Amino acid sequence: MLTAPEIQAKANENRRLIIDMIHTANAGHPGGSLSVIDMLTAIYATDVDLTALKRSRVILSKGHAVPAQYAVLYQYGVLSAEELGTLRQLDSRLQGHPCSHRLPQVDATTGLLGQGLSLGVGMALAKRDTKDPHNVYVICGDGEVNEGQIWEAATQAAHYRLSNLILVIDENGLSSSGVTSEVMDNRNLVRKLTAFGWQAETIDGHNMEEILASLARARAWTEGPYGIVMRTVKGKGVSYMENNVAYHSSGIAGELYQRAVEDLKRGEACV
């Protein structure tokens, strides 16, 4: 088992891969990819064996953040460095949203926001009914949970007491339209999940010790589904992207790319 600093080092490497991919494509969603990468790296490092037929599954419901998932898959040898350079190109397996048909190590095709938790409920039910002991992780954005389908699925998950289902909400405070609370104020998401019958908690989504401890609690919970609301910074690690809605969707060209690389190098030196 890797230590928290070792997993954090992998997450930092993945940040650089995200920036490189989006720079090469000159298109993508850097902000949400950078906010979710610490948690995504931790999930794969601690509970996903990509070589196994039966394994834990990861549904990136906020599918626009897929550069983060591609970076992780590269770390495990699923993708080559050359293929990372094909992000969002015609006929590439690395589309702008996850496509499990083209890349089977991606566990669900997503992109139309709001559908991932429903997929997760179905997978978790199938695993329970076939006595598959592995978990299903669903990662949503805090803007995405405005979708009513999320809460229909949350109700169903609690009804069936799906203790193998773990929902992670990336609460970075910004959606494509602006400040999330101004677009639609969901208020206290932990309280809301609890009201729907979930066990839930809030953590710092950039503190690897907190992330690992939270994941351990979620896996140990046997009374029903578990929700982790992680407070993050959109564009984390790149100074001019942090908390900047302009980098929800944007290319990274020229001097801005160099500044991003330098920011990430400074961040790695501080770990």
pLDDT single digits (tens) 1-55: 899 999 999 999 999 999 999 999 999 999 999 999 999 999 999 999 999 999 9
Cα atoms found within 13 Å of the Cα of residue 238, Cβ hemisphere only: 26
**Alpha-helical runs (H) found in 130-230:** 148-159, 180-183, 189-195, 208-220
pLDDT at residue 271 is higher than 60? no
β-bridge mates for residue 169, sequence order: 140, 229
**Residue 166, helix vs strand vs coil:** strand
pLDDT single digits (tens) 251-268: 999 999 999 999 999 877
- The answer to whether 134 touches 57, Cβ cutoff 8 Å, is yes
What are the residue ranges spanned by the domains of the chain? 4-270
Q: What is the pTM of this model?
A: 0.97
> Measured between alpha carbons, how far is 27 from 22 in angstroms, rounded to an integer?
6
For the chain, the helix, strand and coil percentages under 3-state DSSP, each to the nearest 5: 50, 10, 40
Count of C-beta atoms within a 10 Å radius of residue 246: 11
According to the CATH classification, is domain 4-270 in 1.10.3660.10?
A: no
What are the b/e assignments for 163-195, b being 16+ CB within 10 Å? bbbbbbbbbbbbbeeeebeeeeeeeebbebbee
